[in-house]
Amino acid sequence: MSGRFGKVSRRLPSALEFEQSGTVVRARCHYCRKNDTMQSSGGRHRAPPEEAHKFFIHRGWTGLTGKKPACPACVSKFRAIKAREREEKTAMKEVGKTAGPVVDKEVQIRTEAGCQTPLVAQMGRADRRKVFRAIDEAYSEDGGGYVGGETDHTVASAAGVPVVWVERIREEEFGPAVNEDARKLEADLAAISTKARKAEEDALAAAALAEEASKEAVAWGKRFARLRDAMGPKGARV
């Protein structure tokens, strides 16, 4: 980027970028790679960086000033995982304080609403190895995500283990919860967006040419009217 456009774009948080001559601001999630956009409220004018930053913060984005911005869906997911881990630890402590047989294989988790969810077994070493092997068979070698349409849920179902185990091992040992199908869909969407932007730019260019031609026609009409008036009665018959 160069000139005035470059100066304006540098004022944006690092996770945001201007598009379409600055009238659109785009954010891309570091984790799921989904996009979100903001159209300038000024129409054809560039969007103010401060307004763009507040817009995405209000929509639930985090990490916009860093290298790993997160969309609202991923933020909710991470918070749910952390909340579940805290609940597990709390439940385990409560079990340890309770008299009677020690429950070392199953811990009952309560949700924020106070409802009880199905029992989630604690993961032992053998379980951990089983989950690791299941993910390893379904995860790409380059660490970019699952192959095909595999997900945490499909791997957990095939291995017969809780999804929370798969989520935990995959985050610790492998990488993001994305797959090839999602990446292909994202690429297709990006291509469609590019075509749409090109069509919009062509339409704007055609509109500008039409407006210029219209102005020229008006100017020629005025010149013709002056010429006709100068010709007197003969000009009236033209």
Q: How far apart are CA 198 and CA 193, in angstroms?
A: 9
Beta carbons of 22 and 47 less than 8 angstroms apart? yes
Query: Domain map of the chain by residue range?
Result: 1-70, 105-178, 189-238
Q: What is the DSSP letter of 48?
A: P
Q: What is the pLDDT of residues 75-84, one digit of tens each?
A: 888 888 888 8
Beta carbons of 57 and 72 less than 8 angstroms apart? no
User: What are 124-131's contacts with CB under 8 Å, separation 24+?
Assistant: 127/161, 127/165, 128/165, 128/169, 130/159, 130/161, 131/159, 131/161, 131/165, 131/166, 131/169
Of 83-92, 95-104, 113-122, the least confident = 95-104
What tokens does 86 get?
């805290």
Can you give the pLDDT at residue 216?
85
